[in-house]
């Protein structure tokens, strides 16, 4: 046996020497090289070499031991007689290696690699390598892979944010008149560089709109950078937005850091939750918007930047200004084009469309095949207030998916909160609907006229005294 194997090693070495691309120092003692090649094969561990018909030519001791194959029995016989489902015939056929396949045999796990051996482009055999591994090792590899995937997702998300390709205008799903009109204005708004202020309750789609504006604009191939003003402490926010010079404060990175404004150069920057900016930051930002240049922290030299600003908030900034909690000059600076997204409860007609959209999305994400929802489920959704708007709808849809049995979503799968003091179900009587519509119209009119009741009454084409009555009635 021993002699036999040595011969094979010799032939292998000869073969390798013939091949272009292998470095075999021909001035060395061939016997030494042969011994080294032999050692190399041993070091590779559980290894076998087969010919073009998949018959065993070489089997290492380790291979024989772990795969429970007797060398004497195996020699010259096809590998498929010993190892079921072996991929070697496939490798011989396609000439493509397979790497990192996990194989279990006799309660043990192996990490398999298989490589074709070619000569003059013809497949003349294959090498199979099996590294025995225990479940702990596999778990370690799996978790290593898992954290790599997580890291990759993090960078993908960062890339997505800066590339801003996630939402185009077609992501705005609606058939309500007000929203369709807003969607239409996006095309005009996108063409300019004017600052946009997006307002609306949480989850109404402000970020979707900001994305769509960027995507429709001539800046669409430049970065879209999003920053949540509430998520970062004030002293870091400045460094984050403006960047800093090396050594400008303790903890500053070597070489300094480029700020978000510079990073967004040529593109769009979304400053979300702008209401949480401190007056100090507001006045610094005011300068950037006016001068279109930034000064890094610790630097005196300004850098010009070309960015389009979009601000978003779910607060009433005008009210904050009146209460002295937001700078008036800054408010007027950012309130150039203002788009207000209506809450979902004011556009209940969108619910069937959105539900359909989320069913499609969740089917794909969760690998399910929900076909739709029962009429009772739909009318339940249409009778709820949706304080968290579309985001809340999406969450409840996902919840219903988790409880779903069969291919239709039923009302009980949603577990919507039942009527209590805070979450009253919307009454569907005509009177109630009319009152809600009135209330909304009055609030809008007052907002547009900055609280001027005379102008609001004119806008609504009603008597001023009637307006006063209604304001009192609805407690506005
Ligand atoms: N018209 C729409 N069509 C489809 N999906 C929408 C629409 N509007 C919002 N969404 C989805 O609803 C979720 C919330 O939207 P978004 O993040 O834009 O809300 P937001 O107004 O920025 O909320 P917040 O004030 O809490 O930040 C997202 O998953 C978004 O994809
Ligand atoms: Mg948002």
What pLDDT does 63 receive?
A: 86
The Cα 120–Cα 228 span in angstroms is 61
The vertex-217 CA angle with 216 and 221, nearest 5°, equals 95
pLDDT over 70 (residue 13): no
More confidently predicted of 285 and 169:
285
Q: Look up residue 12 and give its two tokens.
A: 């292998």
pLDDT over 50 (residue 20): no
What pLDDT does 141 receive?
A: 73
Residue 251 DSSP code? T
- Mean pLDDT for the chain overall: 83
pLDDT digits over 300-345, tens only?
A: 889 999 999 999 999 999 999 999 999 999 999 999 999 999 999 9
- Ligand 1 pocket check for 208: Cβ under 6 Å: yes
- Ligand 1 pocket check for 172: Cβ under 6 Å: yes
Ligand nearest to the CA of 204: 1
Most distant CA pair in the chain: distance in Å? 112
pLDDT over 70 (residue 290): yes
Which of helix, strand or coil describes residue 473? helix
Average pLDDT over residues 434-462: 86
Among 242-251, 265-274, 284-293, 396-405, the least confident range: 242-251
Q: What does residue 409 show for φ and ψ, rounded to 5 degrees?
A: -80, 125
| Full-model pTM | 0.59
User: In this structure, which residue's CA is closest to atom 17 in ligand 1?
Assistant: 207
What pLDDT does 26 receive?
A: 56
Tell me the fold of 344-413.
Helicase, Ruva Protein; domain 3 (1.10.8)
Under 8 Å between Cβ of 244 and 204: no
pLDDT over 80 (residue 59): yes
Nearest alpha-carbon partner for 312 in 237, 228, 235, 242: 228
Which top CATH class is 430-474?
mainly alpha
Which helix (H) or strand (E) is 258 found in, with range? strand 257-258
Which top CATH class is 2-136?
alpha beta
pLDDT digits over 185-242, tens only?
A: 999 999 999 999 999 999 999 999 999 999 999 999 888 988 888 877 777 788 888 8
- Ligand 1 pocket check for 204: Cβ under 6 Å: yes
Tell me the fold of 164-340.
Rossmann fold (3.40.50)
Under 8 Å between Cβ of 67 and 83: yes
Residues facing 228 on adjacent strands: 272
* Alpha helix ranges (H) inside 254-335: 260-263, 279-291, 317-322, 328-334
What pLDDT does 425 receive?
A: 47
- Ligand 1 pocket check for 389: Cβ under 6 Å: no
- Ligand 1 pocket check for 201: Cβ under 6 Å: no
Residue 27 pLDDT grade (very low, low, confident, very high; cuts 50, 70, 90): low
Distance 347 CA to ligand 1 centre (A): 14
The Cα 291–Cα 302 span in angstroms is 10
Q: Look up residue 367 and give its two tokens.
A: 């690998």
DSSP strand pairing (196-199 vs 337-340): parallel
User: In this structure, which residue's CA is closest to atom 28 in ligand 1?
Assistant: 391
Under 8 Å between Cβ of 348 and 382: yes
The Cα 199–Cα 206 span in angstroms is 7
Distance 292 CA to ligand 1 centre (A): 30
Ligand nearest to the CA of 175: 1
Under 8 Å between Cβ of 454 and 466: no
Under 8 Å between Cβ of 310 and 189: no
User: In this structure, which residue's CA is closest to atom 31 in ligand 1?
Assistant: 208
Pocket test for ligand 1, best of 205, 311, 352 (most atoms within 8 A of CB): 205
Query: Locate tokens 């490589």: which residue?
Result: 115
Ligand nearest to the CA of 398: 1
pLDDT over 80 (residue 406): yes
More confidently predicted of 212 and 87:
212
User: In this structure, which residue's CA is closest to atom 10 in ligand 1?
Assistant: 205
More confidently predicted of 275 and 233:
275
For the chain, give every domain's residue range: 2-136, 164-340, 344-413, 430-474
Among 68-82, 373-387, 405-419, top mean pLDDT goes to 373-387
Distance 249 CA to ligand 1 centre (A): 37
């Amino acid at each position: 046996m021993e002699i036999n194997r040595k011969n094979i090693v010799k032939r292998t070495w000869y073969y390798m020497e013939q091949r272009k691309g292998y470095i075999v120092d021909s001035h060395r003692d061939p016997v030494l090289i042969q011994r080294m090649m032999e050692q190399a094969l041993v070091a590779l561990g559980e290894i076998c070499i087969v010919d073009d018909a998949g018959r065993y030519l070489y089997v290492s001791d380790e291979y024989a031991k772990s795969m429970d194959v007797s060398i004497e029995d195996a020699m010259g016989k096809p590998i498929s007689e010993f190892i079921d489902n072996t991929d070697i015939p496939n490798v011989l056929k396609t000439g493509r290696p397979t790497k990192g396949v996990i194989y279990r045999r006799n309660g043990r796990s192996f990490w398999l690699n298989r490589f074709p051996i070619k000569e003059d482009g013809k497949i003349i055999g294959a090498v199979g390598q099996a590294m025995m591994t225990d479940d702990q090792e596999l778990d370690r590899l799996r978790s290593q892979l898992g954290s790599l995937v997580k890291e990759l997702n993090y960078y993908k998300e960062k890339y997505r944010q800066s590339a801003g390709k996630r939402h185009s205008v077609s992501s705005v799903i609606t058939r309500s008149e007000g929203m369709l009109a807003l969607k239409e204005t996006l095309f005009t708004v996108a063409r300019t560089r004017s600052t946009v202020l997006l307002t609306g309750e949480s989850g109404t789609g402000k970020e979707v709109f900001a994305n769509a504006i960027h995507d429709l604009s001539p800046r669409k191939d430049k970065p879209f950078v999003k920053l949540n003003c509430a998520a970062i402490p004030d002293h870091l926010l400045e460094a984050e937005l403006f960047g800093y010079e090396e050594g400008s404060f303790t903890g500053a990175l070597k070489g300094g850091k480029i700020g978000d404004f510079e990073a967004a150069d040529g593109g769009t920057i979304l400053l979300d939750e702008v209401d949480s900016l401190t007056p100090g930051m507001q006045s610094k930002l005011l300068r950037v918007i006016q001068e279109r240049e930034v000064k890094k922290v610790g630097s005196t030299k300004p850098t010009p930047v070309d960015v389009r600003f979009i601000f978003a908030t779910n607060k009433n900034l005008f009210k904050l200004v009146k209460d002295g909690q937001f700078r008036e000059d800054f408010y007027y600076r950012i309130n150039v084009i203002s788009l207000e997204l209506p809450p979902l409860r004011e556009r209940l007609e969108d619910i069937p469309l959105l539900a359909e959209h989320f069913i499609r999305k969740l089917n794909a994400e969760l690998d399910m095949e929900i076909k739709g929802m029962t009429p009772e489920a739909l009318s339940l959704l249409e009778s709820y207030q949706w304080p968290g708007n579309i985001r809340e709808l999406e969450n409840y849809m996902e919840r219903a998916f988790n409880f779903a049995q069969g291919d239709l979503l039923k009302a009980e799968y949603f577990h919507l909160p039942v009527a209590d003091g805070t979450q009253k179900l919307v009454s569907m009587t005509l009177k109630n609907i009319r009152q809600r519509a009135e209330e909304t119209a009055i609030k809008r009119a007052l907002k547009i006229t900055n609280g001027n009741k005379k102008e609001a009454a004119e806008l609504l084409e009603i008597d001023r005294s009637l307006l006063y009555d209604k304001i009192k009635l609805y407690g506005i």
